[in-house]
Amino acid sequence: MTFSAIAKKMMIFHFSKYKLIFFCNLFVAVLFFCYASIFTNQDFMENDLIVDSMISSNIIFPSFLSALFLILFLPFSYSVFLSARKREYGVLLCLGMRRKEAVHALMLEGLTVSVLALMVALAVGTVLSILFYGFIRYALGIEGLMWRFDLKPYWITVLLYGLTAFVTIFIQGSLMYFPKIDQLLKTPFKAEKKGKILRFLAHISANFGKSDAIAFSFLVRHKRQWSIRYMIGIIMLTTAIVLIGLCAAISQAFYCDVERYSPYDVLYTDVFDVNHITETEVRELANKYHVTITEYSQISFARDHTFNYYPVSKINEKFGCKYQVNQGQFLNLFPYDPLDGYNRDFTSVSHVKLENGLTLKTIGSDIRILFNQNPTFAEYNLILNDVDFKQLAEESTYWSGKIYMLRLNDWKKSADFLNGLQSRLQEHNNVSEQDQYIYYAASSRLQRYRQAQTSSRFLIFVMSYMIGLLCFVQWALVHFGVLSETDEMKRSVHSLRLVGVTRVEIFSYLRFKNKMRFLPQIVVSFTIAMIIICLVLHRLYHLEVLGCTVGGGFAILLFSLTYISTKRYSQSESKRIS
Amino acid sequence: MCILRAEHLCKSYSSSEGILNILDHVCFQMKQGEKVAVVGPSGSGKTTFLHTLCGIDRPDFGIIQIQDEELSEMSDDALSLFRRKYFGMIFQDFQLLESLNVKENILLPLILAGRGEGEQKRCLQQVTSAVGIEKLLDKGITEISGGQKQRVAIARAFIHRPALIFADEPTGNLDCKATTDVIKCMIEMSDNYQTSELIVTHDLYVASFCDRVLMLKDGNFTGEIYKQEKDFEKKIMSLMFQSGGGCE
């Protein structure tokens, strides 16, 4: 018989203990792989024709979180793995095994579990990512997005997981060089000192009566490990509650964006001799698709590579503004809502030199959304005096045109009309179909609303994975802890039974202990999360109330479910112990 | 011939009540084949003394020589190899690996030393028949009784024919009958294998089987009784009561 045979047998024997760690590792790797399979898909991330950037950008944050989670979770699970093996290796060291041999054996074990988890994760991840794509395509309605075999997500997952696992195993395995052998042997029975706070709490609880003191005694074990578990649990649950609050608020913000950034139901521009179509034609088209145009207006504009130029009188007339711009001056206009949650640059342009040699100077800036965004617009907007605008529009180096703005009686039913309008514009234009859809498309409220709808659903979909994972792992952390104390609990319960404590009393102590193991994290996380949500969402259309309501509602639901389930959990623990 | 010599061993620990001197310039010698019991009240430093001698723990000060080798100067690796070759260990809580069966647990010292299958088989047969656990070899550790577990631990300690056996409260977890069986077994094995034994115990009955009994109190030896002395057992008892120890 050789040591490798013994080591293999020891590992197989302990595998049942590690399977929860194994499955947690597996779960983290699978989740990251699913996100990686999406964010490495070029169609998803870069092709606006298939997936709008507003939707694809939603994947970045949860992907980052899943990566962070993987990086933090692997070392933790490995430390649990290691502490479960300490006594055994203490015995082997006692019998003359060298530290180096023990560390190598432990590293090999960790490596085997990690490689096994990674291999299964890649296989499961592949299947799950196919389902992921299917869900995105059929349930969320993002058509044109296909799953295809690509090595990139595999490489990224292997690299991140492998690197994290390798560093963890190396560092934590090396830590086995330090503890004394007798400390390793005593690992399961190590005595702990109570801190001042715990002494105080123990004193108070003892004064409440016998039962409280006994129930409390179940809690004051392994103070350090439980403090770490509580801390990690609070971080996870706070993240989950904040994510839920953010998810609800951001989803609502997508719809708020539709309201703010699409004041008109349809907008298109007649520029570069493209998109030229008469009002009569548009109205006829609307009639054909049973849509009534309640408002049809137009405004002149000109543009170069950087700026859109608008005449001040027309802007004032059309939008009820009171801008005063003299000759040789201009006003910077930023068509944004400062409450949309994005960090935008509102730095004004100080002067502009026109092609005819005239230099215009700024009189300041204003932040106001006048009409919808459109792909034909340049990045910055300047409002000029009418005389300057006229001179500029006549220059051949500037492209002048018109913006057409339509209001309809029921924009939600305007899909056919919009398709018809786009086709009619295409018929009139001498540009490729791709250019038509990318640069000369009509922008509509309905289109934006649908994007918001898909984006919101996609966000909820990808976040719910993350939130589910956080809650599951937090539960698993506590469950692991409770399981690891089974032997001690058996001894304690046996002693209590010997001194006449009844089964019913023991069950009530266990329930108290389990409540205190599972519930405080939820309460603390709820409080912290509410503060974070308020701070973060204050700048997002003041949606903090919605965020807090949904996040808080989730926390209360979680608390209630956990509270109820502790009864069943304690019953099963009671059975296990007795 | 002296197999173990310890001089001026010191060991202290810091605690909330200040620094505790567990061993205070302890000197000790042991002859080849001798069986020595160290007795003393709880917290007198018996286990620390044993752990320091067998290299599980290091002394703060002092010299430990085993077969002319200086233990305190050895590296961690060298100490492991030394322990593997010359020492056998028996613990109160058996320290058997539940992941392995009885046979594998007994074979561990030979496996760690990289001995061949033939030698493993031969040694296993000899030691198990001597200890009387031949029928338990394929059983799991959780399937056998406390007395049987300690016999397995004894077999594991003797299988590689070490020069020294260190036993820390070997009968602490056993009932009267099992205690007698185990201590008799240990002494018999020690005689057969010509092995020296250092037993730390608070059980005077166990101590009475040894050639010499040392009383440890307040960090040093306060008494020494040889088996050849008249009224050996009575002297042990009186030694313990004088020291205020709570021995059985």
Residues A323 and A378 in one domain: yes
Q: Fill in the amino acid letter for B244.
A: G
Look at residue B244 in the predicted model and tell me its pLDDT.
56
For B:170-189, CB contacts with A below 8 A are none
- How far away is chain A from the Cα of B79, in angstroms, using its nearest Cα? 8
**Which chain A residues contact residue B89 at CB under 8 A?**
94-95
Q: What is the mean pLDDT of residues B114-131?
A: 90
As for how many domains chain A has, the answer is 3
Q: What is the mean pLDDT of residues B192-217?
A: 89
Residue B247 lies in a domain: no
Q: Please provide residue A441's backbone torsions phi and psi, each rounded to the nearest 5 degrees.
A: -70, 150
Q: One digit per residue, pLDDT tens: chain A, 578 residues?
A: 788 888 888 888 877 667 767 877 888 898 889 889 888 888 878 776 666 676 677 788 888 888 988 888 888 778 877 777 888 888 888 888 888 888 888 888 888 888 999 999 999 999 988 988 888 888 877 777 788 888 999 999 999 999 999 999 888 888 888 888 877 877 655 544 555 665 666 565 555 544 567 777 787 777 777 888 898 889 889 989 999 998 899 889 889 989 889 999 999 998 877 888 889 999 999 999 999 999 999 999 999 889 999 999 999 999 999 999 999 999 999 999 888 877 788 888 899 988 878 899 999 999 999 999 898 999 899 999 999 999 888 887 888 899 999 999 989 999 999 999 988 888 888 888 778 877 888 999 998 898 888 888 888 888 887 888 788 878 988 888 888 788 788 888 888 888 888 888 889 889 989 999 999 999 999 999 999 999 888 777 788 899 999 999 999 999 999 999 999 999 999 988 87
Out of A445, A479, A509, pick the residue that ends a domain.
Answer: A445
Tell me the three state secondary structure of residue B20: strand
A102 CB near a chain B CB, below 8 Å?
no
- Output the DSSP codes for A486-527: HHHHHHHHHHHHHTT--HHHHHHHHHHHHHHHHHHHHHHHHH
Q: Tell me the pLDDT tens digit for each residue of B153-175.
A: 999 999 999 999 999 988 887 88
Q: Using only the alpha carbons of chain A, give its radius of gyration.
A: 32
Look at residue A191 in the predicted model and tell me its pLDDT.
45
User: To probe the interface with A, which of B13, B111, B161, B164 has the most A CB atoms within 10 Å?
Assistant: B111
Burial class (CB in 10 A: 0-12, 13-18, 19+), B230: exposed
Residue A379 lies in a domain: yes
Residues A240 and A179 in one domain: no
Q: Does B197 score more than 60 pLDDT? A: yes
Contact: A95, B97; criterion CB under 8 Å: no
**Which chain B residues contact residue A13 at CB under 8 A?**
98-100
Contact: A14, B99; criterion CB under 8 Å: yes
Residue A209 lies in a domain: no
Closest CA to B169 of B23, B49, B10: B49
Q: Using only the alpha carbons of chain B, give its radius of gyration.
A: 18
Contact: B112, A3; criterion CB under 8 Å: yes
**Which residue of chain A has the CA closest to B89?**
A95
Contact: A6, B76; criterion CB under 8 Å: no
Residues A391 and A436 in one domain: yes
Out of A414, A445, A476, pick the residue that ends a domain.
Answer: A445
Residue B103 lies in domain: 31-57+69-242
Any alpha helices (H) in A219-288, and if so which ranges?
223-261, 279-288
Q: Tell me the pLDDT tens digit for each residue of B56-113.
A: 888 999 999 988 888 878 888 888 888 888 999 998 888 888 888 999 999 999 988 8
- B210 token code pair: 């040894």
Compute the distance between CA of residue B83 and CA of residue B185 in angstroms, rounded to an integer: 22
Q: Please name every residue paired with B61 in a beta bridge, in sequence order, or none if there are none.
A: B10
Residues A178 and A298 in one domain: no
Contact: B95, A181; criterion CB under 8 Å: no
Contact: A180, B56; criterion CB under 8 Å: yes
Residues A283 and A432 in one domain: yes
Compute the distance between CA of residue B141 and CA of residue B148 in angstroms, rounded to an integer: 9
Q: Distance of CA A22 to CAs A114, A175, A226, A237, Å?
A: 8, 22, 21, 22
Residue B1 lies in a domain: no
**Which residue of chain A has the CA closest to B118?**
A1
Q: Does the model's ipTM exceed the 0.95 cut? A: no
Residues A379 and A523 in one domain: no
Residue B8 lies in a domain: no
For A:71-90, CB contacts with B below 8 A are 87-88, 90
A98 CB near a chain B CB, below 8 Å?
yes
User: To probe the interface with B, which of A2, A85, A95, A104 has the most B CB atoms within 10 Å?
Assistant: A95
Residue B13 lies in a domain: no
- Strand positions, DSSP E, chain B: 2-15, 18-31, 35-39, 61-66, 69-70, 87-90, 164-168, 196-200, 212-217, 220-226
Residues A383 and A502 in one domain: no
Residue A196 lies in a domain: no
Residue B5 lies in a domain: no
Q: Please name every residue paired with B109 in a beta bridge, in sequence order, or none if there are none.
A: none
Contact: A95, B99; criterion CB under 8 Å: no
Residue B90 lies in a domain: yes
Q: Does B247 score more than 50 pLDDT? A: no
Q: Tell me the pLDDT tens digit for each residue of A202-235.
A: 565 555 544 567 777 787 777 777 888 898 889 8
Residue A158 lies in a domain: yes
B74 CB near a chain A CB, below 8 Å?
no
Q: Distance of CA A332 to CAs A174, A410, A575, Å?
A: 62, 34, 74
CATH of residue B204's domain is 3.40.50.300
**Which chain B residues contact residue A94 at CB under 8 A?**
56, 83, 89, 95
Closest CA to B50 of B97, B89, B3, B7: B89
Residues A486 and A377 in one domain: no
**Which residue of chain A has the CA closest to B160?**
A95
Residues A332 and A436 in one domain: yes
The number of C-beta contacts closer than 8 angstroms across A and B is: 75
Instruction: Provide the total of helices (H) and of strands (E) in chain B, helices listed first.
Output: 8, 10
Residue A480 lies in domain: 222-262+446-578
Residue B22 lies in a domain: no
Compute the distance between CA of residue A184 and CA of residue B203 in angstroms, rounded to an integer: 26
Out of A445, A472, A502, pick the residue that ends a domain.
Answer: A445
Residue A217 lies in a domain: no
Residues A318 and A411 in one domain: yes
The angle at the Cα of A448, spanning A444 to A454, to the nearest 5 degrees, equals 145
For B:30-69, CB contacts with A below 8 A are 51, 56-57
Look at residue A201 in the predicted model and tell me its pLDDT.
60
Q: 10 Å Cβ neighbour count for A143?
A: 11
Residue A320 lies in a domain: yes
* Full 3-state SS string of A45-76: HHCCCCCCHHHHHHHHHHHHHHHHHHHHHHHH
As for how many domains chain B has, the answer is 1
pTM metric for this prediction: 0.69
β-strands A380-384, A307-311 pairing: parallel
Residues A228 and A292 in one domain: no
Residues A85 and A183 in one domain: yes
